[in-house]
Structure 1
Amino acid sequence: MSDDLLLDVRDLVVRYGPVTAVDGVSFSLASGETLALNGPSGCGKSSTALAVLQLRRPDAGHVRFEGRELTDLSDRELRPLRPRLQPVFQDPYGTLSPRHRIRDAIAEPLKVQGRWHPADGPARVAELLDRVGLDPAYGDRRPHELSGGQCQRAGIARALASGPRLLVLDEPVSSLDPSVRAGVLNLLADLQDDLGLGYLFICHDRAVVRHFADRVVEMREGRVTSG
């Protein structure tokens, strides 16, 4: 594990009307490390993840990514940082548009970021599919033509296309069969070793957390109880 501090969250608060979903949560994460947020449904894990990603702006607290305070930035100022801070969500079919072929979904971040070149772009997409253990021929398929595990691998490939340093993994294997789950977790471990990625791993399953995470932050009712 690298000693480089990648993410530092301090006194995070997220409210939905009168309900405080996240109440003073603090933790830090280094490059190459997996930090798990563990706790029952409704404890504030996913709201914390959305606030880290700035997809839900926190009501108070600090989120520093690579030393930069994200909560002070406008949406326009956040845009160039978003490729380095990528989500992988629970529902792989909901992540990918049913209208687009897998290759187009993976190419989209490259095009949005101005990194798509017709001469080598298709080869880059094929490389990403191969990296996540999918035959590049799967790029011609649409999400409904893939299994859940294959679709989640395609979602991971799409996240990798941006060249991230941090993946926010929100229950990425909870909808998968146990045998498929193990394969996806092994893939994530291999990618972390190869690329030095940091993982914020949101999961309610303690057995999975114990197997996969370097450190665990336990949450209950919006607060950190240990970790």
Structure 2
Amino acid sequence: MTPLLDVRELVVRYGDFTAVDRVSFPVGAGETLALNGPSGCGKSSTALAVLQLRRPDAGEVLFEGRELTTLTERELRPIRPRMQPVFQDPYGSLSPRHRIRDAVAEPLKVQGRWNDTDGPTRVAELLDRVGLDPSYGDRHPHELSGGQCQRAGIARALASEPRLLVLDEPVSALDPSVRAGVLNLLADLQDDLGLGYLFICHDRAVVRHFADRAIEMREGRVTSG
């Protein structure tokens, strides 16, 4: 079966420094693959290259069987909604000027799927789906806790109806008790929606609990897994 995501011999360089050195892995639909390793090992650079937010210097990124690295930005535009990031900083990923409902609605508007009749209902459904009362849509990010704000970020990602979530340290900034709730939410969403997860994490205990498979990275290379 063709993997949802298939990364082959990926290379990312910053000047003379090689941040990602011939990294390869597949991720299946409904599967969580963790990239584990210390800070600076190339995990986040790999995630950015998978999302084509930082174009790789070599290698291939196949998503749903289509090679992405050769596509123009215009050709990538219809694909991007199906590959969504969830970042480490729950506050930094949402504009402080916008209410939560506007942040969740933005992907629908950008993709031309918003209308004033059904749109607000869809936003309320997304907030409810991630465990937030729809009334939280009237608040700004600073009025939410870190865990609530991360749930809002997940709702925003789900608005695009993705197949793959790239989760870059999504719980590392949260308190342990809150962390468990967000991980349980992600597990439930995966079960319900068949999402594939590329899970970036430095905490081996979290990886053992959450991931189906893990690969270890050191100095830009895969060392195990």
- Classify the secondary structure of the residue corresponding to 2:4: strand
1:62-211 alignment, distance < 5 Å = 62-211=60-209
Q: Which runs of 5+ in 2 are unaligned?
A: none
- Classify the secondary structure of the residue corresponding to 1:56: coil
- Counterpart contact for 2:189–2:195, Cα < 8 Å: yes
- Classify the secondary structure of the residue corresponding to 2:77: helix
Q: Over residues 111-163 of structure 1, what are the superposed CA-to-partner deviations in whole Å (9 max), with x where a residue is unaligned?
A: 00000011110000000000000000000000000000000000000000000
- Counterpart contact for 2:2–2:65, Cα < 8 Å: no
Q: Over residues 160-189 of structure 1, what are the superposed CA-to-partner deviations in whole Å (9 max), with x where a residue is unaligned?
A: 000000000000000000000000000000
Q: CA shift at 1:4, angstroms?
A: 4.9
- Classify the secondary structure of the residue corresponding to 2:92: helix
Please tell me whether residue 13 in structure 1 is matched to residue 11 in structure 2: yes
- Classify the secondary structure of the residue corresponding to 1:167: strand
**Given the two structures, how large is their TM-score scaled by the length of structure 1?**
0.98
CA distance in 1, matches of 2:65, 2:115: 31
Computed over aligned residues only, the root mean square deviation of the Cα atoms, in angstroms, reads 0.6
4+ aligned runs moved over 4 Å, structure 1: none
Q: 1:137 and 1:4, CA in 2 relative to 1: closer, same or farther beyond 3 A?
A: farther
Q: Which runs of 5+ in 1 are unaligned?
A: none
Identity %: 87
CA distance in 1, matches of 2:77, 2:100: 24
CA distance in 2, matches of 1:77, 1:45: 26
**Given the two structures, how large is their TM-score scaled by the length of structure 2?**
0.99
- Classify the secondary structure of the residue corresponding to 1:138: helix
* Amino acid in the other structure paired with 2:144: L
* Amino acid in the other structure paired with 2:47: A
* Amino acid in the other structure paired with 2:45: S
Q: CA shift at 1:104, angstroms?
A: 0.3
- Counterpart contact for 1:4–1:31, Cα < 8 Å: no
Q: Over residues 78-123 of structure 1, what are the superposed CA-to-partner deviations in whole Å (9 max), with x where a residue is unaligned?
A: 0000000000000010110000000000000000000001111000
